[in-house]
Each structure stands twice: as structure tokens, then as C-alpha cells.
């Protein structure tokens, strides 16, 4: 018998041991009469964010590399600090978040944590330290989180006992799964095992699963609308079991695209309208993009799904127009492309304009010599000022040491 079956068997045995039933009989399903249900005084739901509540199961679907893990960490950070995320409120009091995953290295997590914490006072840093704990993959076996293994189940139990969370983030679903990705039975079995482990230490905790979606324009267009339930990869049992589902899709084809966030399912709260998020490359925090054109995005993705080029709107942006829009400033490459799109260029045209103006020497590119630094773009005079500011900052830090 595998460890998941053992836990389920144990659960059945505990539930069956009631004064009202024979000790060998299974526990009946929970039922109430009409009057009983009406007269019950239920505790209010405790929100986490965006329809995710304590005690419930939430799922965030998105293709690999889009930024699901960073979105989750940003959300947890804001929740602990009492700040909204993506324009939506977070829970009223700081919750304990355990970020369990198998994909992100300790260097990536350290960079994100340092960037997200920059500028915060000591009290807020202490609050984050008390309420957020992350899996850092410091040993080779740390990346193996599937509940199919008895050893992994024991490690899960020890980890949860050492830090009982209010919200458990599990990332990605495919590495956690016990069985086949397309099997409804295996998906339900895995969820039951995870719930059983968590309820031993924190029965009222929420679980948020980060899971991969399918790729390609035809599948990306399913993030929103009638086909939203079909956006995620694998068995639909995960979607069905969740009380709340958010679909994350790329807003364009650039290296760091805006993220289109669609509230695909919400059983415990009204569904929120779609929103677009943009990553600040310096703070590693996501901000709302109020100017994102959802209609144009849906049109372009739909055209791409049919093998066509999206219909452009308005006159074509010239090289001179692009240079004038930029002026004597520098911006990160994604910001430049977004600026050009706001001036009327399509996504492809914005990318081509940037490459063409760099090749002509009108603009130059520069990446600061530091880990995960963004590429900056701008005219040579403005770039020299940015490089001088960077050098001055570095020298100041060296002098401070």
C-alpha cells in the first residue's frame, strides 16, 4: 500500500469511529435538515485574496516561465503587509505563508526577496520574516515533492509540523502529483493526501496550487470566456475541486510580457474582472496596468490561433516617431516596447522598431553587471547618465562597507 492509500485508510478509520455508528461501518456523508442548516451559526469566511479563503482550495494556472511563483510570493508579501495586490484587498490580518516548490533556486528567491523588501522599515521586514517561509532547494532531494513517495510524505509532514501555515502554496502541481497528469482519480488522491497532511497541523488552512497551463495561441485564448475551465493542463479534477481559480496568460510575445489575470472560478465570492499586471524589474513587484487593451489582446490571440496576423489599428509608427516618444531618457526593454505600443505600434512592430533603432545607433542597449539586471534602452547621452548613476551607486556601497 502506498503512503497516500495509507493516509486515506487512516482517515476512513478515524471518521468511522463515532458513538452513533458501528465501529466497522463507514462514516456517513454529512447532512443537515432544512431547519438545522438555517439555524446554524457559521463562522464567517476569512479571505486571503481574490476569492481564495482560509479552509478552501485555490488554483493558479499559467504557462511555465510566466511568473506564477513570483506572483504568489508578491501576493503573500502584500498580504502580510496589509497591502492590496492587483487592485484587490488581501486578508485583514497577517497570515503565515509556506511557499513549497521544486523549481526556483535559492539565488532566484533571494533576489526576489531582497528586491521586494527594498525600502521597507525594520518592523515590516520583521513581519515578513515571521510570516513567510520558502522552500530553498539547498539539497538535491529538496526538489522531489511528490506525495507518491513514503520518504517525501514524511518530509512533508515534518515540514508542516515545523511551520504550520495558514496558507500553503504548492508549486508546481505536476511535481506534487501522485500518478498520471490526466487521471481524475490520481488528482483527487493527491489532493486528499495533501489535505490530510495539512489538517494534522492546521485544519483551517488554505491550499493554493500553482499549475501549468497549455501553451500556444489556441490555448492561451482559452484563459478567458467559455473555455476558461479548459485552460489548465491535465485532469480537470483539479479545476473542479478548487473553490477559486485564476488563469494567468501572457499579454504579448515579449521576453517579460504583462500578465493577463482572469478570475475563472469563484465559489465563495463574486468573480473579479480581468486585470493586467506588469513586473517592475527593479522591485520585482507586480503593478496594475490600467491602460492594457483587453479587446486588442483577445483579437490578436484569436488571430494568431487561426494562423493569421492581427489586424492593426491606426497609422504605422515611424522610426522618428518612436525616437521622439522615447526622448532623452532610458527605460527597460519591456517598458520601451510598451511605450511604442501605446503610441500605436503593434507588438511585433514595437519589437522591430527597438531592434532597428538600436542597430542604427539612435538607441543603445546596456545591462548592468549584476544578477537578474534588466536590459536598458535609450539614446547614447541618456545611457551615459544612467551608467554614471549606476557607477556612483556601486562606489557608494563599496565606500559604506
pLDDT at 18 over 50: no
Residue 392 lies in a domain: yes
pLDDT at 23 over 90: no
Residue 304 lies in a domain: no
Q: Let me know whether 342 and 199 are in one domain.
A: no
Q: Let me know whether 169 and 239 are in one domain.
A: yes
Show which of 254, 269, 297 is a domain's final residue: 297
pLDDT at 188: 97
pLDDT at 19: 41
Instruction: Kindly give the pairing relationship between strand 285-288 and strand 275-280.
Output: antiparallel
State the average pLDDT over residues 201-217.
96
Q: What is the number of structural domains in the chain?
A: 3
Residue 223 lies in a domain: yes
pLDDT at 25: 77
Q: Let me know whether 71 and 132 are in one domain.
A: yes
Domain harbouring 355, CATH code: 1.10.10.10
Q: Let me know whether 347 and 293 are in one domain.
A: no
Residues 74, 291: Cα–Cα separation, whole Å: 21
**pLDDT higher at 104 or 291:** 104
Residues 311, 216: Cα–Cα separation, whole Å: 19
Residue 319 lies in a domain: yes
Q: Let me know whether 140 and 37 are in one domain.
A: no
Lowest mean pLDDT among 45-54, 259-268, 307-316: 307-316
Q: Let me know whether 285 and 180 are in one domain.
A: yes
Instruction: Find the domain containing 9 and state its range.
Output: 1-42
β strands within 180-333, DSSP E: 206-212, 244-250, 259-266, 275-280, 285-288, 331-332
Output the average pLDDT for the chain. 90
Q: Let me know whether 75 and 128 are in one domain.
A: yes
Residue 353 lies in a domain: yes
Residue 310 lies in a domain: no
- Please write the tens of the pLDDT for every residue from 344-365: 787 778 888 999 999 999 999 9
Q: Let me know whether 158 and 243 are in one domain.
A: yes
Q: Let me know whether 29 and 54 are in one domain.
A: no
pLDDT at 399 over 80: no
pLDDT at 400 over 80: no
Residues 58, 49: Cα–Cα separation, whole Å: 10
Lowest mean pLDDT among 43-47, 112-116, 201-205, 251-255: 251-255
pLDDT at 312 over 70: no
pLDDT at 59 over 90: yes
Residue 309 lies in a domain: no
Angle CA(242)–CA(259)–CA(305) in degrees, nearest 5? 90
Q: Let me know whether 65 and 153 are in one domain.
A: yes
Residues 55, 198: Cα–Cα separation, whole Å: 10
Buried/exposed 81-95: b ≥16 CB within 10 Å, e otherwise: beeebbebebbeebb
Domain harbouring 111, CATH code: 3.40.50.300
pLDDT at 168 over 80: yes
Residue 270 lies in a domain: yes
pLDDT at 187 over 90: yes
pLDDT at 268 over 90: yes
pLDDT at 89 over 60: yes
Helix (H, G, I), strand (E, B) or coil at 355: helix
pLDDT at 77: 98
Task: Judge whether 283 and 115 are in contact, CB under 8 Å.
Answer: yes
Q: Let me know whether 205 and 109 are in one domain.
A: yes
Q: Binning pLDDT at 50, 70 and 90, where does residue 15 land?
A: very low
Q: Let me know whether 31 and 67 are in one domain.
A: no
Which of 140, 141, 114 minimizes the C-alpha distance to 125? 114
pLDDT at 337: 86
pLDDT at 154: 97
Show which of 262, 297, 332 is a domain's final residue: 297
Q: Binning pLDDT at 50, 70 and 90, where does residue 10 land?
A: low
pLDDT at 256: 84
Amino acid at each position: 500500500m502506498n503512503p497516500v492509500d495509507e493516509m486515506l485508510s487512516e482517515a476512513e478509520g478515524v471518521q468511522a469511529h463515532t458513538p452513533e455508528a458501528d465501529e466497522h461501518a463507514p462514516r456517513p456523508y454529512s447532512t443537515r435538515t432544512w431547519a438545522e442548516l438555517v439555524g446554524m451559526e457559521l463562522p464567517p469566511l476569512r479571505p486571503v485574496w481574490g476569492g481564495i479563503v482560509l479552509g478552501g482550495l485555490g488554483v493558479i494556472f499559467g504557462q511555465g516561465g510566466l511568473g506564477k511563483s513570483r506572483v504568489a510570493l508578491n501576493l503573500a508579501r502584500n498580504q502580510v503587509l496589509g497591502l492590496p495586490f492587483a487592485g484587490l484587498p488581501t486578508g485583514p490580518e497577517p497570515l503565515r505563508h509556506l511557499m513549497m516548490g521544486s523549481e526556483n533556486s535559492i539565488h532566484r528567491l533571494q533576489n526576489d526577496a531582497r528586491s521586494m523588501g527594498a525600502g521597507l522599515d525594520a518592523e515590516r521586514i520583521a513581519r515578513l520574516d515571521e510570516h513567510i517561509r520558502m522552500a530553498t532547494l539547498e539539497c538535491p532531494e529538496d526538489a522531489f515533492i511528490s506525495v507518491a513517495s513514503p520518504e517525501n510524505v514524511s518530509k512533508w509532514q515534518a515540514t508542516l509540523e515545523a511551520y504550520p501555515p495558514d496558507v500553503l502554496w504548492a508549486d508546481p502541481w505536476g511535481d506534487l502529483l501522485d500518478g498520471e497528469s490526466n487521471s481524475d482519480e490520481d488528482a483527487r488522491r493527491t489532493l486528499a493526501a495533501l489535505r490530510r497532511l495539512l489538517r494534522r497541523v492546521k485544519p483551517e488552512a488554505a491550499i493554493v496550487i500553482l499549475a501549468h497551463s497549455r501553451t500556444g495561441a489556441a490555448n492561451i485564448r482559452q484563459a478567458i470566456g467559455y473555455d476558461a475551465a479548459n485552460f489548465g493542463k491535465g485532469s480537470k479534477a483539479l479545476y473542479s475541486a478548487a473553490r477559486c481559480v485564476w488563469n494567468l496568460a501572457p499579454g504579448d510575445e515579449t521576453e517579460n510580457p504583462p500578465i493577463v489575470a482572469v478570475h475563472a472560478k469563484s465559489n465563495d465570492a463574486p468573480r473579479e474582472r480581468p486585470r493586467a499586471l506588469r513586473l517592475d524589474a527593479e522591485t520585482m513587484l507586480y503593478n496594475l496596468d490600467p491602460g492594457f487593451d483587453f479587446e486588442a489582446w483577445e483579437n490578436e490571440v484569436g488571430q494568431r490561433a487561426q494562423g493569421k496576423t492581427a489586424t492593426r489599428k491606426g497609422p504605422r509608427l515611424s522610426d522618428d516617431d518612436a525616437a521622439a516618444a522615447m526622448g532623452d531618457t532610458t527605460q527597460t526593454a519591456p517598458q520601451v516596447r510598451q511605450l511604442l505600443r501605446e503610441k500605436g505600434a503593434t507588438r511585433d512592430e514595437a519589437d522591430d522598431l527597438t531592434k532597428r533603432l538600436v542597430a542604427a545607433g539612435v538607441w543603445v542597449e546596456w545591462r548592468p553587471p549584476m544578477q537578474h539586471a534588466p536590459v536598458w534602452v535609450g539614446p547614447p547621452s541618456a545611457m551615459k547618465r544612467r551608467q554614471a548613476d549606476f557607477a556612483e551607486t556601486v562606489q557608494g556601497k563599496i565606500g559604506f562597507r
